[in-house]
Amino acid sequence: MTVPVWAWIAVIGGLLVVLAVDLWIVDRGEAREFSMRQAGYWVTFYVALAAVFGVVLWITFGGAKAGEFFAGYITEYSLSVDNLFIFFIIMSRFAVPKVYQHKVLLVGILMALVMRGVFIALGAAALERFSWLFYVFGAFLVYTAINLVRHRGDEEEFNENVLLRWVRKAFPTTEGYVGSKVTVKIDGRRMVTPMLIVMVAIGSTDLLFALDSIPAIFGLTKDPFIVFTANAFALMGLRQLYFLLGGLLQRLVYISYGLAFILGFIGVKLILEALHTSHVSWAPEIPIWLSLTIIGATMVITTVASLIKARIDARQGEETHPEQV
């Protein structure tokens, strides 16, 4: 699919406008916590926006490209749920006040979107030049899926990366937060606040997650425009999903199995497609509609199963520890 430059400009410009309006609406007036109702409205809005974009793709470029977008979007959004656990840990570690958490996530995710754009451009150029990388990506996804299952249940932790350590050393930092400011002037000296540090932590950590999510979506489509837009729409709705899920994150006990299955499936699909492209007769080509069905069904099944188990565990807990009267 050949996308004209103006289409790229229109999409990126439109996304930036939506994010700017989002920030203006949420941040106007006195700082306040992000309510569940607000989060629900915004998640619905961003999902609807992605659906509208997919329909426009369908009308403009056909059902195949729209299918690739929806498969990529669902995959990226699903993998993003796993990111939320680390985001929660980062927020707790840096003791970010709840009233400012939405701004931290928005700026951090915007940073991640820019870095992912660079990563996608480099990945697309490399794959076009070195087709054998599809085998590497496929094997890496299968390896990641196996590790995800093996280490399920291990305590999640956050380790500061090189970029974050550099920011801490390079810039003088205030001891505490100064409202929602990222920099402040004290005694004539410009200093950064922990707000900037945590934004860098969110953005750079998300880039590390992209090491498996980007190869995963390249397993569904080779089109850089589809890869970028699917990532962009998934990231845009991630902030509100963080507040909507809230304590529900701890109840999604089977989500790792679902994500591992999706990564493994896409890894195998990527290897099979590389073999098929190399004219290996026995290697089947998995259609996008089947990929979309499998990915969607996997997330629904693991989410429902997780909620059922959480309800059963809660009921057993009530029976084991009846309320004292």
What is residue 157's predicted lDDT score, i.e. its pLDDT?
Answer: 60
- Over residues 103-124, the mean pLDDT reads 78
| pLDDT over threshold 90, residue 51 | yes
CA distances from 24 to 18, 36, 101, 103 (A): 10, 19, 15, 10
| Structure confidence at residue 315 as a pLDDT band (50, 70, 90) | confident
- Over residues 68-86, the mean pLDDT reads 81
| pLDDT over threshold 90, residue 48 | yes
| Structure confidence at residue 113 as a pLDDT band (50, 70, 90) | confident
**Contact status, residue 53 vs residue 233, Cβ threshold 8 Å:** yes
Chain segment 193-231, per-residue pLDDT in tens: 888 888 888 877 776 666 767 777 888 888 889 988 998
- Over residues 178-195, the mean pLDDT reads 83
**Contact status, residue 102 vs residue 213, Cβ threshold 8 Å:** no
| Structure confidence at residue 322 as a pLDDT band (50, 70, 90) | low
The segment with the largest mean pLDDT, out of 212-226, 237-251, 277-291, is 212-226
**Where do we find the tokens 């400009």?**
9
Classify the C-alpha dihedral 255-294-214-225 as positive or negative. negative
Percentage of the chain surpassing pLDDT 90? 5
What is residue 325's predicted lDDT score, i.e. its pLDDT?
Answer: 44
Question: Domain boundaries in the chain?
Answer: 5-316
What is residue 1's predicted lDDT score, i.e. its pLDDT?
Answer: 62
- Over residues 61-71, the mean pLDDT reads 89
Chain segment 117-173, per-residue pLDDT in tens: 887 888 778 877 777 777 887 888 888 788 877 766 555 566 666 777 787 788 888
What is residue 189's predicted lDDT score, i.e. its pLDDT?
Answer: 82
| pLDDT over threshold 60, residue 323 | no
Classified as helix, coil or strand, 278 is coil
Look at the chain and count its residues: 325
What is residue 55's predicted lDDT score, i.e. its pLDDT?
Answer: 94
| pLDDT over threshold 90, residue 264 | no
| Structure confidence at residue 257 as a pLDDT band (50, 70, 90) | confident
CA distances from 14 to 7, 20, 75, 153 (A): 10, 10, 23, 40
Annotate 196-261 with DSSP letters as a single string. HHHHHHHHHHHHHHHHHHHHHHHTT---HHHHHHHHHHHHHTHHHHHHHHGGGGGG-TTHHHHHHH
**Contact status, residue 221 vs residue 57, Cβ threshold 8 Å:** no
What is residue 69's predicted lDDT score, i.e. its pLDDT?
Answer: 92
Percentage of the chain surpassing pLDDT 70? 85
What is residue 321's predicted lDDT score, i.e. its pLDDT?
Answer: 59
